[in-house]
Amino acid sequence: MKIKLTLRIWILLIVVALSVLALFGSPMNFFQKGVLVTSVEQNSTIYEQGLKQGQIITGIDGQTVENLESYSKIMQEKFNFKIIENTSKNVKTIIDTKNSEIILFSNKPPRITVSEIPKTNIKTGLDISGGSRALVKAQDRKLSSSDAEDLKKIIENRLNVYGIEDVKITKISDFSGDYYVRIEIAGTTPEDLKDLISQQGKFEAKIGNETVFIGGKKDITSVARSGQEAIVESCEGSQGFYRCSFRFSVFLSEGAAKRHAKITEKLKVDSTSEGNYLSKKLDLFLDDKLVESLFIGESLKGRVTTQISISGSGQGKTEKEANENTRSEMNKLQTILITGSLPYKLEIVKLDTISPSLGKEFVNSIFLAGFAALFAVSLFIFFIYRFMSN
């Protein structure tokens, strides 16, 4: 008996097909070979050579990387530490990715972490995929219970602004009464977590030696994060090097605006080919390092203004990479301006990896149950329509 494909059945088939696509993405994901780069130590040689987080390694020295197991086997055979550690001779390593070839000369394996390529679009948490954990305390300071609670809230606020999901932050104490903050983030490496929390994020804007405003709610009422008041502008450069610029608006408190007016009132006006500017620039410092110097227009001399524009730049080997790095720099600066600096510099007491407590077998069981349910529903609909057609 033939079954008539009615409109309802077509709708059901389309919904099932779209659900499968949303869950698994492209069918090619199942056949893709290699390993996914989850982190690369910044400023390392391999980072400068072009290997970035998110790239897929498909081969090493002509050997095909099938999965995480084959990657580990190739690297262990290549970097036999008992031999390498006794020589200063660099070893040539050719790393093939989907889009490029990277050549590295070193007697140590590349400082990267890799994982299996995800087969689905599902993002799992700490219980399934594991992550990293850090135990931190204030450097050269003993935290009280209330201090640790305040620090916990500030870290939560900062990580929330960054948009990081599945974060667990808890306040703990030891037998001696010292308080610590424990941070757990799913899907990150210990190196990633260290980068997120190691910097205090102290922001200062100075004219000469005088501070105009600092990051945080005391001096800053709002920071633009989208629209025409927060944009990454067009990139310039040629093959091999690109630079992009960004700008966004910052809204100051009345006190910071008056401070800006008082300091600029004393400055002279210099005439240049590009226009008239005050004799000193607005210098931006992040963790006591100068990150940008901005010209101050003549019209701002002695003026109480609550809105100013912050600008900066980023660079990369391709226009796309430069754009992504620039946007990342802008977001980092915006975050610190919004949240302010941490109340004290943090010391990482312990940094380790969290193993998934449920893991791959649990995920496989979920998919098996899902497919069984889908099959049962399809079978039920098949017999119902067959019975109705009779």
Query: pLDDT for 218-232, tens place per residue?
Result: 898 888 887 788 888
Task: Give residue 356's pLDDT band: very low, low, confident or very high (50, 70, 90).
Answer: low
- Partners of 310 in the beta sheet? 248
**CATH number of the domain at 26-119, please?**
2.30.42.10
Specify the higher pLDDT residue, 125 or 224: 224
- Partners of 154 in the beta sheet? none
Residue 369: per-residue pLDDT: 67
Specify the higher pLDDT residue, 275 or 171: 171
What pLDDT, in 10s, does the model give residues 166-216? 678 888 887 777 888 888 877 666 666 776 676 656 788 899 999 998 887
Question: What percent of the chain stands above pLDDT 70?
Answer: 69
Task: Give residue 253's pLDDT band: very low, low, confident or very high (50, 70, 90).
Answer: very high
Residue 112: per-residue pLDDT: 75
One DSSP character per residue, 237-303 reads: EETTEEEEEEEEEEEE-HHHHHHHHHHHHT--EEEETTEEEESS-EEEEETTEEEEEE--BGGGTT-
Task: Give residue 260's pLDDT band: very low, low, confident or very high (50, 70, 90).
Answer: very high
What pLDDT, in 10s, does the model give residues 93-124? 888 887 788 888 877 777 776 777 776 655 55
pTM: 0.49
Is 163's pLDDT higher than 60? no
Residue 267: per-residue pLDDT: 92
- The end-to-end CA distance of the chain, in Å, is 8
* 307-316 vs 241-252, strand pairing mode: antiparallel
Using only C-alpha atoms, the chain has a radius of gyration, in whole angstroms, of 27
Specify the higher pLDDT residue, 338 or 126: 338
Q: In angstroms, rounded to a whole number, what is the distance separating the alpha carbons of residues 34 and 71?
A: 8
Angle ∠(7,11,15) on CA atoms, nearest 5: 170
Specify the higher pLDDT residue, 31 or 244: 244
What pLDDT, in 10s, does the model give residues 37-64? 876 765 567 777 778 777 888 888 888 8
Q: In angstroms, rounded to a whole number, what is the distance separating the alpha carbons of residues 133 and 351?
A: 6
Please check whether residue 325 is in contact with residue 243, taking contact to mean a CB–CB distance below 8 angstroms.
no
Quote the tokens at residue 376: 């049962």
- Fold for the domain defined by 131-200+345-353: Alpha-Beta Plaits (3.30.70)
Mean pLDDT of the chain: 76
Which amino acid, one-letter code, is at 6? T
One DSSP character per residue, 60-83 reads: ETTEE--SHHHHHHHHHHH--HHH
Residue-range domain boundaries for the chain? 26-119, 131-200+345-353, 203-339
Task: Give residue 265's pLDDT band: very low, low, confident or very high (50, 70, 90).
Answer: very high
Q: In angstroms, rounded to a whole number, what is the distance separating the alpha carbons of residues 252 and 257?
A: 6
Q: Which helix (H) or strand (E) holds 105?
A: strand 101-106
Is 153's pLDDT higher than 50? yes
- Partners of 245 in the beta sheet? 313
Instruction: Count CA atoms closer than 13 A to 254's CA, side-chain side.
Output: 0
